[in-house]
Structure 1
Amino acid sequence: MSEDFMAHLRDLASDFGALSARRMFGGSGVYHDGLMIGLIEDEVLYLKTDDLTRARFAAAGSAAFVYTRQRKPIELSYWSVPESAMDSPQEMRPWLALAFEAALRKANAAPAKAGSAKTGSAKVGAVKSATAKSKRRPDRR
């Protein structure tokens, strides 16, 4: 990912809030308030989806991020952003909001790991910590 591309994404997110990126595998993860809401591969932004948001991305002509593992295609829950959103902060904002909401739902639905010292906190705490801009470990999927 080029610095110019990330600078463009930050400009597009000006109506939404701060974005950061971290290198992962062959691309980069995109984070907002400590949650991974997207990924960048070959200068294409893919945003987090779930069962509640995937149809909106599909209706807008977006496509799922797919990679090949052991010669089999693996579809992730990240979908490309409609082309019009890459031109305007006003067009991008609703897509970023959908991705953040999907990431919050996933964080709150994730089961606690057995034997972990951190399992005592309620899932509600994940929403509070994400919205309070605390630093959390990103979703590693």
Structure 2
Amino acid sequence: MRQRSEYLDWLIDELAPLGAIRAKSMFGGWGLYCDEAFFAIIDDDVLYLKADAQNRAAFVAEGVPPFSYTVRGKTQTMSYFRLPDAALDDSTALLHWARTGFEAALRAGVAKQGRSRVVR
């Protein structure tokens, strides 16, 4: 089992006002869930938050990169963006950015549920 870092434990404490925060080890990093919605990735002690059409522009405006990884020589990018550095020093800003990721995860979950309902 992967060892939790001090950074991960600190984040879980800081994000607690959002709801029940749970970390799950995945692919060498961590997935963060809030009330069972997958809203963040931690890789090498860097937090990436879920983005969608409603919050992506805010991440782009901050100039933060999306989460990416390489498989078989090809770089894959996911709809998760790095937390702006300034938010690490400001609990209010951290919660604001995390809430936008959580809300994007909730919207994705609602959209996924809608697609899975097939009328026959």
Band the TM-score falls in, shorter-chain normalisation: 0.7 to 0.9
> 1:42 and 1:109 mapped to 2: Cα distance?
30
Aligned to 1:72: 74
Amino acid of the structure 2 residue aligned with 1:93: L
Give how far 1:113 is off.
7.6
CA distance 1:16–1:89, shift in 2 (3 Å): farther
Task: Check whether the contact 1:11–1:89 (CA below 8 A) recurs between aligned residues.
Answer: no
TM-score of the pair, normalised by structure 2: 0.86
Give how far 1:52 is off.
1.3
Which deviates further from its counterpart, 94-103 or 3-12? 3-12
Amino acid of the structure 1 residue aligned with 2:19: G
Aligned to 1:112: 116
Which runs of structure 1 show a deviation greater than 2 angstroms over 4 or more consecutive aligned residues? 14-18
What SS class does the counterpart of residue 19 from structure 2 fall into?
A: coil
> 1:88 and 1:64 mapped to 2: Cα distance?
21
Greater per-residue helix proportion: 2
Task: Check whether the contact 2:42–2:48 (CA below 8 A) recurs between aligned residues.
Answer: yes
Q: Deviations over 1:30-71 (max 9, x none)?
A: 010111100110010100001111110111121100111221
What SS class does the counterpart of residue 51 from structure 1 fall into?
A: coil
**Structure 2 segments unaligned to the other structure (5+ residues):** none
Greater per-residue strand proportion: 2
Task: Check whether the contact 2:28–2:43 (CA below 8 A) recurs between aligned residues.
Answer: yes
**Structure 1 segments unaligned to the other structure (5+ residues):** 120-141
Of 53, 56, 62, 1:54 maps to: 56
Give how far 1:89 is off.
1.4
Give how far 1:7 is off.
2.0
TM-score of the pair, normalised by structure 1: 0.74
What SS class does the counterpart of residue 40 from structure 1 fall into?
A: strand
Aligned to 1:127: none
Task: Check whether the contact 2:18–2:34 (CA below 8 A) recurs between aligned residues.
Answer: no
CA RMSD of superposed structures (Å): 1.9
Report which structure shows greater RCO (CA 8 Å, sep ≥6).
1
